[in-house]
């Protein structure tokens, strides 16, 4: 497999928890990419922390990266929301997400009388939030947005839960509205535009992820090579025999011996 650059998932690939503790081999793999001058972007759907905070936390754990190496939904969302005239938001998400959006000039309120509702990862999601979001969509005509389109996610304790995209689809199905809601994560139109601008290329790029269906299946349709890692939320048996998975590895440091690096273009 000849590779000119990498698109690398974060959770379950480089890090294993919300403390951003490195997965075995992850720090060494990034060092390998830097040493060989191989272009890479860390493409995360993390919606709990701004990119600057993610960068800082990764550096604390020894990752040799800069802010320009990271693309998250929070790079994309404010620009699109402003362009679509959204001024007030009901947010299903963390307090740090709400603070981030307020700093970007949005009115964030716990009320259904809003222009839009934005779904992020919310570990305190409850019945009250479900009611406010449903009312905002059904009664007040709010637009529905999601920070990513993940089907399933994995918590620090190893247990699985519905992903952000699944929660957004629940609201859409409930209200029979916004079925084509925009999301700001991987495989979103704006997200992909920024990713490939940063990489400067699409041809010869490989996607490394633990997400079989959103990341690997999605980016395969764009012509990327796909590498599945077994350190995240899906088991190896679920990736086997998938024609959109080009390689399966158990540690990122298996990759250098199984690829040919092409940095000429």
pLDDT for the residue 99: 93
Strands 107-108 and 88-92: parallel
pLDDT of res. 5: 95
pLDDT at site 261: 81
Q: What is the pLDDT of residues 52-61, one digit of tens each?
A: 999 999 999 9
Identical fold for domains 2-72+186-261 and 84-183, yes or no, is: yes
Assign domain 2-72+186-261 to its CATH superfamily. Answer: HAD superfamily/HAD-like (3.40.50.1000)
User: Global pTM?
Assistant: 0.84
Map out the domains of the chain as residue ranges: 2-72+186-261, 84-183
Three-class DSSP category at 221: coil
Which pLDDT belongs to residue 158? 87
- Segment 119-170, tens digit of pLDDT: 999 999 999 999 999 999 999 999 999 999 989 988 888 899 999 999 999 9
Instruction: List the structure tokens of 207.
Output: 């996607």
* Token pair for 203: 């041809």
For residue 263, the model assigns a pLDDT of 58
- The yes or no reply on domain 84-183 and CATH 1.10.10.350 is no
**DSSP string over 76-130:** HHHHHHHHTT--EEEEES-HHHHHHHHHTT-EE-SSS-SSEEEE---TT--HHHH
62-103 pLDDT per residue, tens: 999 999 999 999 999 999 999 999 999 999 999 989 999 999
Share above pLDDT 90 across residues of the chain, in percent, rounded to a whole number: 85
How confident is the model over 171-191, as a mean pLDDT?
A: 94
pLDDT band at 264 (very low <50, low <70, confident <90, very high): low
pLDDT at 48: 79
Indicate whether 265 pLDDT > 60. Answer: no
What does the pLDDT read at residue 45? 84
For tokens 């349709």, name the residue.
221
pLDDT, averaged across the chain: 94
- Higher confidence at residue 48 or residue 96? 96
What pLDDT does 86 receive? 98
């Amino acid at each position: 497999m000849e590779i000119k650059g990498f698109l690398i998932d974060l959770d379950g690939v480089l890090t294993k928890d919300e403390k951003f503790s490195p997965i075995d081999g992850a720090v060494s793999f990034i060092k390998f990419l830097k040493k060989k001058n191989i272009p890479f972007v860390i493409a995360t759907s993390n919606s709990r922390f701004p990119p600057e905070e993610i960068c800082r936390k990764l550096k604390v754990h020894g990752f040799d990266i800069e802010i320009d190496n990271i693309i998250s939904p929070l790079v994309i969302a404010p620009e699109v929301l402003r362009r679509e005239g959204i001024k007030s938001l009901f947010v299903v998400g963390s307090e740090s997400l709400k603070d981030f959006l307020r700093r970007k000039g949005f009115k964030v309120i716990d009320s259904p009388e809003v222009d839009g509702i934005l779904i992020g990862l919310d570990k305190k999601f409850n019945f009250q939030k479900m009611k406010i979001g449903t009312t905002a969509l059904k009664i007040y005509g709010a637009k529905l947005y999601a920070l990513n389109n993940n089907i399933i996610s994995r918590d620090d304790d190893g247990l699985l839960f519905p992903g952000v995209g699944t929660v957004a689809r629940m609201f859409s199905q409930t209200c029979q509205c916004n079925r084509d809601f925009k999301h700001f994560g991987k495989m979103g139109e704006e997200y992909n535009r920024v990713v490939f601008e940063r990489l400067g290329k699409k041809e010869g790029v490989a996607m490394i992820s633990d997400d079989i269906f959103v990341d690997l299946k999605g980016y395969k349709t764009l012509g990327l090579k796909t590498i599945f890692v077994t350190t995240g939320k899906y088991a190896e048996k679920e990736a086997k025999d998938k024609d959109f998975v080009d390689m399966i590895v158990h540690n990122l440091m298996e990759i250098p011996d199984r690829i040919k690096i092409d940095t000429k273009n």
